[in-house]
Amino acid sequence: MNLNIKSAYLLLLVSFAALRTNAQVIPIGFLDFDGHARSLQLLNRLDSNISFFVRPSNYGLGFDKSLKMGLKMGEGWTGMDSTMPSTTKYYFDDGKGIFMVLPTTLKSKFNSHHPFGWNDEAMKAAKGLQSAVSGGFFTQYGPFSLQVQPEYYQGSNPDFEFNSAYGAKATGAYSNFLPGNSSVLVHAGAMAAGFSTQSIWFGPGQYSSLILSNNATSFPHLSFHTTRPLCTPLGTFEWQLIAGTLDEDSASGGLYENRHLKSAVLKEDSRYYNAVNISFQPRFLKNVFIGAARAFQIYSGDLQSLETNFFNKYLVVLNPGFKKSTVQDAGFRGDQQFSIFTRWTFPKSHAEFYFEYGQNDHKANFRDLAINVQAGAAYLVGFKKVIPLKQSRFIELNGEMIQMAQSADYLLRNTGNWYEHSPVYQGMTNDRQIIGAGSGFGNNVQSLKFNWVNGIQRIGIIAQRVQHDPIGFRGQSALLLGKTPWNELCYGINARFAYKSLIASLEIQYTSSKNYAWEAGNRKSNLYSLLNLAYLW
């Protein structure tokens, strides 16, 4: 990381004299507890002010309390406390400080024929077996908290079937030791600031996000964010402002997700990444959340050559919406994204509906947006319905659709697919992985899940349809290349079980590809599995 960028980051840190809070958070994707927490909210068992737009979540729910809430949901339920997962906490200095051993986790992913699966952080888009081990501790004293949770990744990464349009020769076995979900924060009531390498999720999506998700390797960043909904006379607010560094990690190898898993030698220069996410729940509309997110990146070398004030240089996402940034006006290579989203909850019906709309192409003004609203756009829409049964049991029905392929407007105005739009050759990636929706470059996905849940335990079925870049890579060239549509149908099961301090979740999907890699008549099958084990000390 460039020293000048480091010094600029430090200016974002705020000195807080704060109330003591338990700031340990549950990482995104941990045994799908984000989804479980949403169900608890719809069952009126969790704070109704939580938007789930800014993750990872804190809200005072550590591993211990969240797991107990998951197990003891029913009124008057007398489950076996001896089988209830918990974490060991140690208090010191007369209770002013706390130390907690975090769960030890093992994650394994397998693909039999070709890369499949997303939201798996530093795991590569690869065939074969990959595994990750994580563990660590959390401690807090007064307003200061430290979370150390490194991760070790290892994968076989053998060759898979590829052609001139998709894939390339694999880079072979790999191993990585990463800081994982670690952080150093200073807290003040509902706010916190500091340095972190935790994965971040922006927006309402359950399975995908247009701007930021846990699909790619997490990146180092400074953050100023809320740790729980901030109540005001107007309503509740949540936000996160980050400034970090994206890289391609050439030493570890890998294929570019936003280039249809092709290998490439690109400009080896880190990128400065600035993003903000703000959500609001109006006081007079208690079950409605609205939010917006904006992200910007620029090559670090170009950033250092830029002569402007601190605000325009390092906090460019806070510039007015349609005003071109000083970075772009100066002719430097920058790229940005913008999205707006909403989530409506229906407590009496135990249901929710959400929507996200994003722009990957800079609009000059409101007229340009009105005339070309589809150009450079993507959207995500989904729902969750919970049917309570007896005691701690309930049924979940989850659905989501994400549309990232260009609309028919590309024939008049080709803006490119999402995550690649500008002279920033890597696009919106980190370590060659898309930092937003990871299903694939320009893909459309429809997902449906049905689960039966008993406390923390769950079993269900999954159905998905993936349209691989239906418009075609590089827009109009698909018509010239004569590519045949490549669609993938996926069916499977998922389950989560707990026994004392051990929790396991498993997902298995059979995928059937028609016209694999856009080759007519090329039918291929793939078996995908993802196993997560967590032991709570």
User: Could you read off the pLDDT of 487-518 as tens digits, one per residue?
Assistant: 999 999 999 998 888 999 999 999 999 999 99
Contact 355, 342 (CB under 8 A): yes
Confidence of residue 352 (pLDDT cuts 50, 70, 90): very high
d(CA 286, CA 444): 32
Stated pTM of the model: 0.88
Q: Which domains are present in the chain?
A: 3-535 (2.40.160.130)
Contact 520, 484 (CB under 8 A): yes
User: Could you read off the pLDDT of 401-439 as tens digits, one per residue?
Assistant: 999 987 766 656 666 778 887 678 888 999 999 999 999
d(CA 508, CA 511): 10
DSSP E strand stretches across 362-443 = 377-388, 393-403, 429-430, 433-434
Q: Produce one character per residue of 219-229: b if its CB has 16 or more CB atoms within 10 Å, e if not.
A: bebbbbbbbbb
User: Could you read off the pLDDT of 142-169 as tens digits, one per residue?
Assistant: 999 999 999 999 999 999 999 988 999 9
pLDDT for 390: 87
